[in-house]
Chain A
Amino acid sequence: MSTIEIALPQVRKATVGISLRKIVYRSAAIVGLLAVWELAPRLGLVDSTFLPPFSDVMVAWWQLLADGQLLDNTLASLGRSLTGFGLAVVTAVPLGLLIGWYKPVAELLGPLLEVFRNTAALALLPVFVLLLGIGETSKISIVLYACVWPILLNTISAVRTVDPTLLKLARSLDLPPIRLFQKVILPAAAPTVFTGIRLAGAVSILVLVAAEMVGAKAGLGYLVNAAQFNFAIPQMYAGIVTISVIGVVFNQLLVALERRFTSWRRDQLS
């Protein structure tokens, strides 16, 4: 027993050491980018009017945070993209399961879905604005629309690529269709469905920001666009940095969720 008690803290210290070094190593490129961003304008390599040093951008960011503009615009954007994204998940997953399960339906709709997926959602933005106006509805709708395709197509292919021997096994056990779905198809499809959801997460922010730049009175896309219009360049960059941070955080959250639901797969992949 005593040896174990001694050994444990040592192991823990070692893993902390490794992960710390890993963190330093993995953030080196980002730190490097920020350093170049800071130094290039200061050394006169680029015009600091158009690319202010990173520290100036941070100061502007802090001011935006202090006067509440940043929070208001962020909440406006998040509300829209999460609503659109959430609606896409709750509609596209069940729909994908259904389409994937009925082979003739999948074959019938396959080409059409491919056409829609490969039509850039933003190309349809004018159509959405025409039909739904420039209010919240059209913005949420375009996010919903853009998020539906990756989820739908991944879910369909997830169902269609379930290991056929597992289906044969279920059949040999005379499993009723509902049980088959619940015990075999859903868990087998989960990893691929999650990949689609994660793609949709990235898409939701991408499309929303672009939509907000075209016509909006709030949101991060509006903030960036308005700042550029008023020649508030540091504020513009502050908005851009906020967007990319939100994108990264959202993606990490979805990755964590994915890991939780498909933990059996983790060691298999690594």
Chain B
Amino acid sequence: MIGLRAVTKDFGDFTALAGVDLDVAAGEFVVIVGPSGCGKSTLLDLLAGLTAPTSGQLLLHGKPINGPGLDRGIVFQQYALLPWRTALGNVEFGLEATGVPRRERTERAREFLDLVGLTGFEQRHPHELSGGMRQRVAIARSLAYDPEVLLMDEPFAALDAQTRESLQDELLRIWERTGKTIVFITHGIDEAVYLGQKVAVLTSRPGRVKRTVQIDLGNRAEVRDLRSSEKFAHYRHEIWELLHDEVARAQRLEVAR
């Protein structure tokens, strides 16, 4: 469904991404993990159509991506909620862009706030909500206008550990219910293993895909504490090994700069 072919992105004489190849199938949950400064966010901006690649191709359904579109929804790390609008108003914001009639908007927005577990908080402003709740609003906003792909840029990085874990479960539940294709960016190995069907490990600067790892944790419902399972530890270690060298290299680059 999504295909990246030798995608390269330069900023002046600084190369952020150098020849990224990646395929994402419809309905797949792909996590991109990499050391800091490896161009993860640049990759997401490219998928969102907010910037264009220097060379290479990004394809959606076989057609090149050449601009932002409502077939893709972004969830930002900093939530990007409009502070003057209520939770409901923020979800409606996305719908306004798609030209959904006013009456239907409110109804749809309520429905999606309910999906992320925020019934009863419709009239709250962002500053009256916790970080986790704000991100739920942002997720509801992105889902409400029904994009095919959800692009998530370290959405849970600013949250405390407990909130993060509960939102991860929530996201998996939503993914299973809606069947969206999700591209999720993180620097957390645990998060990558826990969420991803497929994890793409990026190299440090310039970023390219070092390896993709298929994750199969078996039936999630059967295991009580998935993060402590043997399979989880196995994948976690595998990705840790892949990342370890890259992190060290990134740090050397950081020092050299």
Contact = CB atoms under 8 A, between A and B. Distances in A.
Contact of B50 (A163, A171, A190): A171
Contacts of B73: 172
Interface in A120-146: none
Interface string A161-173: 0010110110111
B108 to A, nearest CB: 15
Residue among A169, A179, A268 with the highest chain B CB neighbour number at 10 A: A169
A169 B49 CA distance: 12
B84 interface: yes
Given A168-B76, A264-B84, A173 B125 contact: no
A178 to B, nearest CB: 13
Interface in B29-54: 48-50
B60 interface: no
B83 A172 contact: no
Residue among A165, A166, A173, A267 with the highest chain B CB neighbour number at 10 A: A173
Contacts of A264: 83-85, 125, 127
B64 interface: no
Contact of A187 (B68, B84, B96, B125): B84
B78 interface: yes
Interface in A246-270: 262, 264-265, 267-268
A190 B84 CA distance: 10
Contact of B97 (A165, A166, A174): A174
Nearest to B89: A264
B50 to A, nearest CB: 6
Nearest to B74: A172
Main secondary structure of the interface of B (DSSP, over half): loop
A16 interface: no
Interface in B59-81: 67-70, 72-74, 76, 78-80
A168 B68 CA distance: 10
B216 interface: no
Interface string A143-184: 000000000000000000001011011011111000100011
A211 B71 CA distance: 61
Contacts of B50: 168, 171-172
A166 B43 CA distance: 19
A264 B85 CA distance: 8
B128 interface: yes
A21 to B, nearest CB: 28
Contacts of A262: 84
B93 interface: yes
Given A171-B50, A174-B69, A183-B96, A165 B84 contact: no
B121 to A, nearest CB: 15
Nearest to B69: A174
Nearest to B48: A172
A184 B82 contact: yes
Contacts of A184: 82
Interface string A24-49: 00000000000000000000000000
Contacts of B94: 173
B95 to A, nearest CB: 10
B83 A265 contact: yes
Residue among A165, A169, A172, A268 with the highest chain B CB neighbour number at 10 A: A172
29 contacts: A163-B80, A165-B76, A165-B79, A166-B80, A166-B82, A168-B80, A169-B76, A169-B80, A171-B50, A172-B49, A172-B68, A173-B70, A173-B94, A173-B97, A174-B97, A179-B96, A183-B82, A183-B93, A183-B96, A184-B82, A187-B82, A187-B84, A188-B84, A190-B84, A262-B84, A264-B125, A265-B83, A267-B128, A268-B127
